[in-house]
Copies of this chain bind each other. A is one copy, B any other.
Amino acid sequence: MTFGFLVSTPRRHLRSTNLSRVLPRLFARRYLHSESLEDCSVATMSTVNKTAHAFDKTRLDALLNRRFFYAPAFEIYGGVAGLYDYGPPGSSLQANIIAEWRRHFIIEESMLEVDTTIITPSPVFETSGHVARFADWMVKDTVNGEVLRADHLVKNVLEARLEGDREARGVAAAPAAPAPADKKKKKQAKTTAVKLEDAVVAEYESILAQLDNYSGPELGGLMKTHAITNPSSGNPVGEPQQFNLMFASSIGPTGQHPGFLRPETAQGHFLNFARLLEFNNGRVPFASAQVGRAFRNEISPRAGLLRVREFTMAEIEHYVDPLDKKHVRFADVADLELVLLDKFVQAAGQTTTKRMTVGQAVKEGVIANETLGYFVARIYLFLVRIGINKTRLRFRQHMANEMAHYASDCWDAEIQNSIGGWTECVGCADRAAYDLSVHAAKTKQPLVVRQALKEPLIEERAVAEFDKKVLGKTFKGDAGVVSAAVEALDEAGMMKLKGELEQGPATITADRKEFTLQSGMLTIERKTFKTNVREFTPNVIEPSFGIGRILYCLLEHSFWSREQDVERGVLSLPAVVAPTKVLIVPLSARAEFDPLVQEVSLRFRKAGVHARVDDSNTSIGKRYARNDELGTPFGVTLDFASVQNRTMTLRERDTMDQRIGSIEDVIATVTELVNGSIDWAEACQRLPAYDGVQAVE
């Protein structure tokens, strides 16, 4: 289960939780890394000073659309809300994020990768609880039939009224509730400057603060009480109805086998648990991992890549002994400092985060156990490595009432962005034994670990021994159910029966009938049992990643414009995820550069560095600028000097700094830069600065 979706409570726990619940917080207008380090003294590229201009979402959107990072799917057919296609740079960025995820988690932790089907027969989701409860409340405009999400409607209308009240009072927008960045939303619930009674303001604020606690009928009640109508039409809306978010289909030609598209990849892991355990030689802990598509039929998605109907997830299910949630590599991360927003702070109505090492957090019980803490830390390291700004990343703990009863702890990695404020992009939950238990109960398959005990377990318990002859004579065909009823008694029940029989006849209910037992029929004794095998259902720690959300936040965090020209957008993607690592720029497309261009291309390919040639008929500066938009971190220029002296200049995207060296040296340096074994400062020590005129920008 993913993105905080927990079976026991519906909407509140969907992956979209934060988007709807946590109001976007105001944040500094200068989003990018605040450290300012000049030229070659920088430690890493991601700390380069990318101040220049304030973040401009319109410009970013224009760039992403123009360069086809992604675009609405079926655009030429008018589009479908919540479905997006990735173009070449977006696909490549996504593939690189996934490749790094595989390296960071699957390879480095020796996880067992699986690839399971999307189509899932209905019984699986009946067991998991999705058929009954994976739903949102929706309302219909009674006149034009438009469908709205009930909680979003209440939120949008009340927020607009509060905003109107503030305008009427001449108060600036409260920091906690800025107008949503999403234009359509804005259009939906228009703000009019109308002053409200103080009591009404207080009531609205109270409703908004606990929006996730209302059931569907309660939301319907609020709409009546507060005369909430569809803001885009002014029409009344009907009673809230539940809408299951799974896409339904039918398997095979008879129509008798309903199925669903998975809303998460997790069930595919759980159903294969027995095979995976065997693959791991019967031992826990181990983890399965899967990257794949999942589907949620959102009611009316309007938040770009943050809320979509089809998305790529990466999920880990780590199976662990419930009695031992230590992690063998915990020491590796114990000193890592994280920004945490714990449940107690939130329950007190606050959002004050604290910095804490993972070691401290586990020691003080803020994070429930070592394994959970280990994964929270690993998630942090992954996100920062691919380029998420660590000052805009925090871990928020689920509050007690947010979690299902069986879960013991859950932390979301929230990444700040201009659409959703602090948005859940990764969930990390300790789901206890729930998933394996329900499937085992339903299928009668033992989804358990059997562990040989070093010391045999010795246990004393009461057991009944029957005189079968007497029993058969007395109860005839009922003898079996009577003895089964006795054997089904727990320890206390057994001892009570023993006591009763010592006094005289005792009665027992079996198969809805009462039977009278006599002392001659059975004896009850406490006996000692010795077992060499312990059997248990492992607990599951589940880190679950929404790749599209991470990708979008990464694009926001990476985007800025050159100081000298706001039109010149740059995506400062780290080399590890950048779609192309090196741009090869010959001075012109003239044939004399061809052999060198081919040589350099081949050398980069052999070194495993993804390079592209741009020999288009435009200035070198323009070609670089075009590739700054695509996030290409390095560029090499081949000119007449290259032909003559076999030298090549190297240009770094963020600083526009240029270096020069022999073709061999530059390629070796770039290879190390891309592999991350050196940083730009070290590269500068190897290659002297270049101050020629060839690539004036």
Contact = CB atoms under 8 A, between A and B. Distances in A.
A563 B140 CA distance: 72
A214 interface: no
A297 interface: yes
Interface residues of A, number: 76
Contacts of A253: 138, 147, 243, 297, 299-300
| Chain multiplicity (copies) | 2
A76 interface: yes
A546 interface: no
A161 B272 CA distance: 42
A293 B94 contact: no
A408 interface: no
Contact of A71 (B68, B81, B275, B309): B275
Interface stretch (A118-126, A201-209, A678-686): A118-126
Given A71-B275, A443-B77, A83 B616 contact: no
Given A248-B249, A249-B247, A117 B272 contact: no
Nearest to A65: B275
A248 B259 CA distance: 11
Contacts of A259: 80
Given A248-B249, A251-B309, 4 more contacts: A77-B124, A94-B115, A147-B254, A253-B300
Interface of A: 67-68, 71, 73-77, 80-81, 83-88, 90-92, 94-95, 102, 107, 110, 112-121, 123-124, 138, 145, 147, 243, 247-254, 257, 259, 261, 268, 271-272, 274-276, 278-279, 281, 293, 295, 297, 299-300, 309-310, 439, 442-443, 445, 605, 608, 610, 612, 616
Contacts of A121: 74, 77, 80
A432 to B, nearest CB: 20
Contacts of A71: 272, 275
A257 B297 CA distance: 12
A610 B94 CA distance: 22
A113 B95 contact: yes
A412 B74 CA distance: 30
23 contacts: A67-B279, A68-B272, A68-B275, A73-B116, A75-B271, A76-B271, A80-B251, A83-B119, A85-B272, A87-B276, A87-B279, A88-B112, A91-B115, A92-B113, A95-B113, A107-B605, A119-B247, A247-B250, A249-B249, A250-B297, A251-B297, A251-B309, A253-B297
